[in-house]
Amino acid sequence: MKTKEAQIIQLDFADEMKNSYRDYAVSVIIARALPDVRDGLKPVQRRILYAMTELGLSPDKPHRKSARIVGDTMGKYHPHGDSSIYDALVHMTEEFSLVMPLVDGHGNFGSIDGDGAAAMRYTEARLSTGAMTLLENLDKGLVPFGPNFDESEKEPLVLPATLPNLLINGTTGIAVGMATNIPTHNVGEVIDGVIAYIKNPGITTKGLMKYIKGPDFPTGAIITNADAIEEIYETGEGKLTLRAKTEIEKSEYGRQNIVITEIPYTVAGNKTRLLENLISLMKDKVFDEIYDVRDESSKEGIRLIIEVKKDRNIENLLNGLYKKTAMEDTYSVNMLAVKDKQPITFNLKMLIGEFVAFQEELYTKEYKHLLAKATDRLEIVDGLIKATDVIDLIIEILRGSESVRQAKACLTAGNITGIRFKSKKSEKEAQTLDFTERQADAILAMPLSRLIGLELLKLHQESDVLHANIEEYNKVLGDRAELHKLIIARLKNYKKQLARPRLTELANMEKGKYVEEIKEEELFILIDRFGYVKSVDSQSYSRIAEESLKEYTHIVSVKNTDKLCVFTAEGNMHQVKVMNIPKGRNKDKGVLIQTLCKVENENVLFYIGLESLLESQLFFATKQGFVKQVSGIEFETNRLTIASTKLAEGDTVAGITALTVMDVINPDEKVILITKKGLSLGFPLYEVSELKKTSRGVKGIALEQDDYVEYAAVVSPEQEEIVFEGKRFSPGKIRNRKRAAKGQKAQIRKGDKS
């Protein structure tokens, strides 16, 4: 008996994690997420189709409950949960996801709107006609089989696909550290491309594109960067821009309708979300041009109506919709698939080459199978024909034998031991018999009806047919050109059955610029002491009582097309589009300024509209006593956050004042600085230099140790008094003198600019 110590295995944790994660990653890549380059199927899809084949669910048979199909697949081949199997089954029924659906669903299997499928106990399914192109000749031993997860069953490791399913239906999958995204293509175009490759293996990508013009999505729409397709087909990677197909129709009261008739493939299964997005943009007045949005889709096709207000620029609105909605979207192509258990990125020619090589392998095996079958049958037919010529002797042998084994030995080797013959002649003839084992078995099992003249004629005719067939099979197996003829003939037959016109339009379109059509209006931005901000129109503002206005620490007059500039003590300026500030009534609280810009933990000092800022000078004063003037033009930028001033280490902005041109040239305008220790200083504004925003400024006040500027402002000569620390005094009398620094901070009563 082993001790506990002997059962302990010492492992390096890092090595074990590395090995385990690698094994997991390989399992996901090979056995779950990526398709096989030969049949274009992921393991779960292949197992579902095989389970349906075993259930006999061919296109001409009745539908069977999806729950039965899922149960068989999970119990025999794919023990990863019924929901993942049913999701894969549902996906294979979706005409808006696949060009050639592999499963014919009966019942509610969801819709392009985004509705989910009904539970598997309610729906039914069977194989589609397209699926049979992947399953044909599965019983002929053309593809390898392997054990299932518990080795109780055998399953195909690949299906004998005779159509390039990977190109036709495409695929999407996310593995560990890699992903695949192969677009769908037109069946007829792909078949023509494959035939062209078979006839000329040296064909270029450009040559293939004469047949395979580009991806063809089941939802139609427009690829607007068709020039990028050739590079994508060369490299196996790239991005396609998909745009909804629209029409312009006249509506009532002089309005016009934008009618969306086809949507991008990326929105397939999410049409309702696109509709909801359009409605929310209308309600939020992001597009003021939209009067109404509605869905008039039916079985005939998609019809989303965007009703546009009278006398509006529809082309401009369309450009805006393409920019801000999924009406225009990007499809990232990554043609990754598994070959010989290795994930490889393929280009178009490589994909077709792999398919053709697989077809050559399949057809070779198929014709070897047919040749072996015909040869075996010919052996039996020739034996029966030969037997009819000596049928009297055979009957005599059978009547004289004591067992079947004894008779068979005589037929195959001329062994007459123990057999009773009527004459020496018959005995001598019996010794010359040399039928094969198969022929002997067939003779012994032959019914007497085969001796009828007509039956004998049929045997001779069958022999002639078998000889002709064997000659044909040998010809195909001995000549690659003949093999290619057969592949091409079958592909052409599939084209007649499955081809349909192209749905996706290929074009080269530039992205149109959207100019926002905004009706200008005066707004007031109200900010309270907690940082909650909202906007009200001028009419609503006029109705707010004076007492209510006192609750707001900052009130900024702006236009709705303007931006609100937010200056902080940390020396930053943040910008917020006024249209992004929610409108509200007096009772509404608003939203925190932090949700509109990246203020986060900064201390906001000053708010101003961008238009006013560009026409102003800003006076800056810092805690360490530096002062400067900066032209508002310096703050013109498209960036949401910039540095408003340069600060020394440990310094912050103590005060900011906006100055008009009249303020700057007025010799009586005065700068007031008050420190934490009560030191106050006043001096003319014109003594403060105008500098760049990137400069620190000049020293405005000499500070004692541990003292700092607590209050800074520019005041007019009309200023009556300042209340600082609860004491009132005239700004004009402020010199360099000390005051008690207790209680409230200094405030300017009238004309406050800070």
Catalytic residues: 122
CB neighbour list of residue 452: distance below 8 Å, 6 or more residues apart? none
Q: Using DSSP, how many helices (H) and how many strands (E) does the chain show?
A: 23, 36
Residue 442 corresponds to which tokens in the numbers above? 């067939």
- Decide the pairing of beta strands 505-506 and 747-748: unpaired
- CA count, 13 A, side-chain hemisphere, 203: 23
Q: What are phi and psi of 320, to 5 degrees?
A: -65, -40
**What type of residue sits at position 301?**
G
Question: What distance, in Å, lies between the first and last C-alpha atoms of the chain?
Answer: 88
The two beta strands, 304-308 and 737-738, are: unpaired
Written as six digits, the tokens of 252 are: 């009532």
Is the distance from CB of 443 to CB of 383 less than 8 angstroms?
yes
Query: What burial class does residue 443 get, using C-beta atoms within 10 Å of its C-beta: 0-12 exposed, 13-18 middle, 19+ buried?
Result: buried
Check if the beta carbon of residue 164 is closer than 8 Å to that of residue 355. yes
H helix runs in 138-186, sequence order: 165-169
Distance CA 480, CA 542 (A): 90
474, 371 contact by CB (below 8 A) = yes
In angstroms, rounded to a whole number, what is the distance separating the alpha carbons of residues 30 and 86?
A: 20
For 225-245, give the DSSP string.
BGGGHHHHHHHSEEEEEEE-E
- DSSP H or E run through 605: strand 604-609
Burial (0-12, 13-18, 19+ Cβ within 10 Å), 725: middle
- Distance, C-alpha 4 to centroid of its chain: 52
Q: Report the length, in residues, of the chain.
A: 754
Sheet with 563-568, edge to edge strand ranges: 604-609, 563-568, 572-577, 641-643
Beta bridge partners of 308: 256, 290
**What proportions of the chain, in percent to the nearest 5, are helix, strand and coil?**
40, 25, 40
Q: Decide if 487 contacts 163 (C-beta within 8 A).
A: no
